[in-house]
Amino acid sequence: MSTENKKKGFSRRKFLTRSAIGLGVILGSGYLSRNLIRRYLAGAINELEPSYQGNTKSPSLWFEITAANEIILHSPKVEMGQGTFTGLAQIAADELEVDISQIQVVHAASASGNLDGLSTGGSTSISGLWQPLRELAATMREMVKQAAAQQMGVDVAELSVNNGVITAAGKSLTYGAVVKEVSEWVVPKTPPLKPIKDYKFVGKPVPRVDLRDKVLGAPIFGMDATMPDMLFGAVVRPPMIGATYAGADTAAAAKMPGVVKIVSEPDFVGVVATSRMAAENAKQAIQANWTTEKSWQTADIEAMIKVGQGTPYVIQKSGNAQRLLAAGEDIITAEFKSPIGAHAQLEPNGAVAFVEGDKATIMISTQVVKLTRGEVAKRLGIAEENVNIQPTFLGGGFGRRLHTPNAVQAAVLSKAVGKPVKCFFDRQEEFQNDTFRPPTHHVLKAKLDADGMIAAIEHNVSSGDVMFGSPMFPALAEPLLGADVGAWRGGMIQYGAIPNYQTISWRVKLPFATSWWRSLGLLANTFAIESFMDELALKAGKDPVEYRLAQIQDDEAGTRLKSVIRAAAEKAGWRDEVVDGRAMGFAASTDAQTPCAQVVEVSIENEEIKVHKVTCAIDPGLAVNPDQVRAQCEGAIIMGLSATMYEQMIVKDSVLYPTIYGPYRMALMRDAPREIDVVILENTGVPGAVGEPPLGPIGAAIANAVFRLTGRRLREMPLAIA
Amino acid sequence: MEVSFLINGVSQRVDVDADTPLLWVIRDILDLKGTKFGCGKAACGACTIHIDGEAVRACAYAVKFAEGKSITTIEGLSVGDKLHPVQQAWMEEVVPQCGYCQPGFMMATAALLEKIPQPTDQDIDDNIVNVCRCATYYRMRKAIHRAAAIKQETR
Among candidate residues B47, B77, B107, the one where a domain is terminated: B77
B123 lies in the same domain as B93: yes
Residue in B with minimal Cα distance to A613:
B138
Q: Closest to A672 (Cβ–Cβ): which among B102, B126, B137?
A: B137
Mean pLDDT of chain A: 92
Looking at CA atoms only, how far is residue A487 from chain B in angstroms? Answer: 22
B51 lies in the same domain as B89: no
| A631/B106 CB distance under 8 A | no
| A347/B131 CB distance under 8 A | no
Within 8 A of B96 by CB-CB distance, chain A residues are: 81, 208, 210-211, 214-215
Residue A457 has phi, psi (to 5 degrees) of -145, 145
Task: Output the domain CATH number for residue B104.
Answer: 1.10.150.120
| B91/A212 CB distance under 8 A | yes
Taking the Cβ of residue B42 and every Cβ of chain A, the question of whether any pair is shorter than 8 Å is answered with no
B128 lies in the same domain as B65: no
Taking the Cβ of residue B20 and every Cβ of chain A, the question of whether any pair is shorter than 8 Å is answered with yes
C-alpha distances out from residue B53 to A307, A531, B26, Å: 56, 49, 17
B108 lies in the same domain as B142: yes
For A394-409, what is the mean pLDDT? 96
How sure is the predictor about A9, in pLDDT bands with cuts at 50, 70 and 90? very low
Q: What's the per-residue H, E or C state across A498-545?
A: CCEEEEEEEEECCCCCECCCCCCCHHHHHHHHHHHHHHHHHHHCCCHH
Within 8 A of B106 by CB-CB distance, chain A residues are: 215, 217
Given a cut of 90, is residue A24 above it in pLDDT? no
| A669/B129 CB distance under 8 A | yes
Within 8 A of A83 by CB-CB distance, chain B residues are: 97
| A669/B75 CB distance under 8 A | no
Within 8 A of B112 by CB-CB distance, chain A residues are: none
| A634/B135 CB distance under 8 A | yes
- What are A142-160's pLDDT values in tens digits? 999 999 999 999 999 999 9
- Residue A273 CA to residue B33 CA, distance in Å, equals 20
Given a cut of 60, is residue A340 above it in pLDDT? yes
B106 lies in the same domain as B142: yes
Based on the structure, what is the number of domains in chain B?
A: 2
CB atoms closer than 10 angstroms to residue A31: 6
Within 8 A of B100 by CB-CB distance, chain A residues are: 221, 345-347, 395-396
C-alpha distances out from residue A551 to A445, A456, A584, Å: 16, 12, 21
CB atoms closer than 10 angstroms to residue A651: 21
Strands A259-264 and A244-249: unpaired
B32 lies in the same domain as B66: yes
Q: Closest to A345 (Cβ–Cβ): which among B24, B27, B133?
A: B133
Looking at CA atoms only, how far is residue B92 from chain A in angstroms? Answer: 9
Are the C-beta atoms of residues A163 and A102 closer than 8 Å to each other?
A: yes
What number is the ipTM of this complex?
0.98
Q: What is the predicted pLDDT for the residue at A31?
A: 40
How sure is the predictor about A29, in pLDDT bands with cuts at 50, 70 and 90? very low
For residues A19 and A74, the model is more confident at A74
Given a cut of 50, is residue A27 above it in pLDDT? no
Within 8 A of A662 by CB-CB distance, chain B residues are: 43
B61 lies in the same domain as B101: no
Among candidate residues B50, B77, B104, the one where a domain is terminated: B77
| B75/A217 CB distance under 8 A | yes
| A346/B44 CB distance under 8 A | yes
Among candidate residues B53, B77, B101, the one where a domain is terminated: B77
Within 8 A of B37 by CB-CB distance, chain A residues are: 223, 348, 424
Under CATH, to which class is A59-202 assigned?
A: alpha beta
Within 8 A of A397 by CB-CB distance, chain B residues are: 98
Q: Is the dihedral of CA A544, A545, A547, A551 positive or negative?
A: positive
Q: Closest to B103 (Cβ–Cβ): which among A217, A348, A638?
A: A217
Within 8 A of B135 by CB-CB distance, chain A residues are: 634-639, 642, 667, 672
Helix (H) or strand (E) holding A679: strand A675-680
B89 lies in the same domain as B72: no
Please list, in sequence order, all residues whose beta carbon lies within 8 angstroms of the beta carbon of residue A567, skipping any fewer than 6 positions away: A597, A617, A679, A681
Given a cut of 70, is residue A32 above it in pLDDT? no
B89 lies in the same domain as B120: yes
Q: Range of B105's domain?
A: 85-153
Residue in A with minimal Cα distance to B74:
A217
How sure is the predictor about A472, in pLDDT bands with cuts at 50, 70 and 90? confident
Angle at CA A276, nearest 5°, toward A272 and A278? 65
| A224/B100 CB distance under 8 A | no
Scanning B52-111 for CB atoms below 8 A from A yields 73-75, 78, 83, 87, 90-91, 94, 96-103, 106
- What are A57-69's pLDDT values in tens digits? 888 899 999 999 9
B69 lies in the same domain as B106: no
Q: Closest to A668 (Cβ–Cβ): which among B99, B100, B131?
A: B131
The CATH classification number of A299-341+435-710 equals: 3.30.365.10
Looking at CA atoms only, how far is residue B136 from chain A in angstroms? Answer: 6
Same fold, A222-292+349-424 and A299-341+435-710: yes
- Residue A664 CA to residue A662 CA, distance in Å, equals 5
Q: What is the predicted pLDDT for the residue at A33?
A: 53
Within 8 A of B137 by CB-CB distance, chain A residues are: 638, 667-669, 671-672
Given a cut of 60, is residue A19 above it in pLDDT? no
Report which of A598, A600, A593 is spatially closest to residue A494, judged by C-alpha positions: A593
| B141/A674 CB distance under 8 A | yes
The CATH classification number of A222-292+349-424 equals: 3.30.365.10
Interface test with A, best of B75, B94, B133 (most A CBs within 10 A): B133
| B96/A208 CB distance under 8 A | yes
A79-88, A470-479, B103-112, range with the lowest pLDDT: A470-479
Report which of A463, A465, A444 is spatially closest to residue A530, judged by C-alpha positions: A444
Share of chain A above pLDDT 70, in %: 93
Q: What is the predicted pLDDT for the residue at A485?
A: 82
| A638/B138 CB distance under 8 A | yes
DSSP β-bridge partners for residue A174: A165
Residue in A with minimal Cα distance to B39:
A427
- Residue A72 CA to residue A91 CA, distance in Å, equals 14
- Residue A581 CA to residue A599 CA, distance in Å, equals 16
Q: Where are the domains of chain A?
A: 12-46, 59-202, 222-292+349-424, 299-341+435-710
| B138/A673 CB distance under 8 A | yes
Task: Output the domain CATH number for residue B15.
Answer: 3.10.20.30
> How many contacts (CB atoms, under 8 Å) link A and B?
167
B72 lies in the same domain as B89: no
| A275/B140 CB distance under 8 A | no
Residue in A with minimal Cα distance to B89:
A215
Within 8 A of B134 by CB-CB distance, chain A residues are: 81, 396, 635, 639
Radius of gyration of chain B (CA): 15
Residue in B with minimal Cα distance to A258:
B17
- What are A641-694's pLDDT values in tens digits? 999 999 999 999 999 999 999 999 999 999 999 999 999 999 999 999 999 999
- Residue B61 CA to residue B50 CA, distance in Å, equals 12
For A554-580, what is the mean pLDDT? 97
Looking at CA atoms only, how far is residue A365 from chain B in angstroms? Answer: 11
Residue in A with minimal Cα distance to B126:
A670
Within 8 A of B46 by CB-CB distance, chain A residues are: 346
Residue in A with minimal Cα distance to B93:
A207
pLDDT per residue rounded down to tens, chain B (155 residues): 999 999 999 999 999 999 999 999 999 999 999 999 999 999 999 999 999 999 999 999 999 999 999 999 999 999 989 999 999 999 999 999 999 999 999 999 999 999 999 999 999 999 999 999 999 999 999 999 999 999 999 87
Secondary structure (DSSP) of A191-247:
PPPPPGGG-SSTTS-PPPTTHHHHHHT-S-BGGG---TT-EEEEE----STT-EEEE
Q: Closest to A215 (Cβ–Cβ): which among B33, B36, B91?
A: B91
| B138/A661 CB distance under 8 A | no
How sure is the predictor about A17, in pLDDT bands with cuts at 50, 70 and 90? very low
| A642/B135 CB distance under 8 A | yes
**Which letter does DSSP use for residue A319 in this model?**
S
B66 lies in the same domain as B94: no
Looking at CA atoms only, how far is residue A423 from chain B in angstroms? Answer: 13
